[in-house]
Amino acid sequence: MLTGCKALVVPTCDEPEGTACFRGVFRTLIGKPVEDVNVCAPDFDDIACTRSDENGGWKIPGLPVDTDVVITATHPDMVPTLFAQNTSMSWYEWYKVAVPPDLADKNAERLGLTARSDRGNVLFLTWEGLNIDGNDTNNVEDVTAEVDGGGSLFYGNALTLADPGLNATSGSGSGGLVNVPPGTIDLRLRAPAGRCAQDPMFHFAAQDGWIPVPIRAGWNTAMDVMCPAR
């Protein structure tokens, strides 16, 4: 359920030799912690799922080191979300927003489309730097995207909703893809000051600027990408 105004507390997590631990919090759009988010590492049968606590906190220990990992998050009040991250970033705390479950339908409708259950979707946010301790850096506007792999590209307005009149990110730094075929696509973002994703944030490592993005039917892949500011 959605909780009241409580502090966002990231749990501590031990990392025995040869293992990594992801940990973080889920919050609403207005910053309240979200309890009972089911968080899993579905590609690892021996790692149990966990649920966020009353402070929105969760942790998944026992992950392999230096490995690309997909983490999934589900909750009745949020869109089923997939996060791609390498465990070399296990030091970086996750502060994630529980996006409303009808977002994919809204974005598709605003593009004159119908969201397909046999396709996935992507949301990306561009930032000037890492968001440490839940303190967001500035979003980066005028970022453009190239896609190799399908889907309908959009950029988000001030509310991060798809705006067919935009040709680059607005002040919200947001964009995404609707109705993407399952599998892996490649996404490249470029700001006026240069190529994005030169340093890792919340995505798999880029090659020549191209970020591999895992897509699963019925899921939203969420990405945070660093872009150079002007």
Q: Domain with 25 in it: what CATH number?
A: 2.60.40.1120
For residues 138-146, give the mean pLDDT.
Answer: 98
49: domain range? 19-97
Which residue in 5, 11, 8, 224 sits closest to 125, CA to CA?
Answer: 224
Task: Say how many domains are in the chain.
Answer: 2
Residue 219 C-beta-side C-alpha neighbours within 13 Å: 19
Which of 34, 69, 97 is the last residue in one of the domains?
97
pTM: 0.94
pLDDT band at 69 (very low <50, low <70, confident <90, very high): very high
Which residue in 162, 197, 158 sits closest to 177, CA to CA?
Answer: 162
111, amino acid identity = L
pLDDT tens digits, one per residue of 29-53? 888 999 999 999 999 999 999 999 9
Helix, strand, coil: what percent of the chain each, to 5? 5, 45, 50
pLDDT tens digits, one per residue of 148-191? 999 999 999 999 999 999 999 999 999 999 999 999 999 999 99
Which of 97, 118, 145 is the last residue in one of the domains?
97
The tokens describing 109, both together, are 């409708």
**69 lies in some domain:** yes
**3 lies in some domain:** no
pLDDT tens digits, one per residue of 197-208? 999 999 999 999
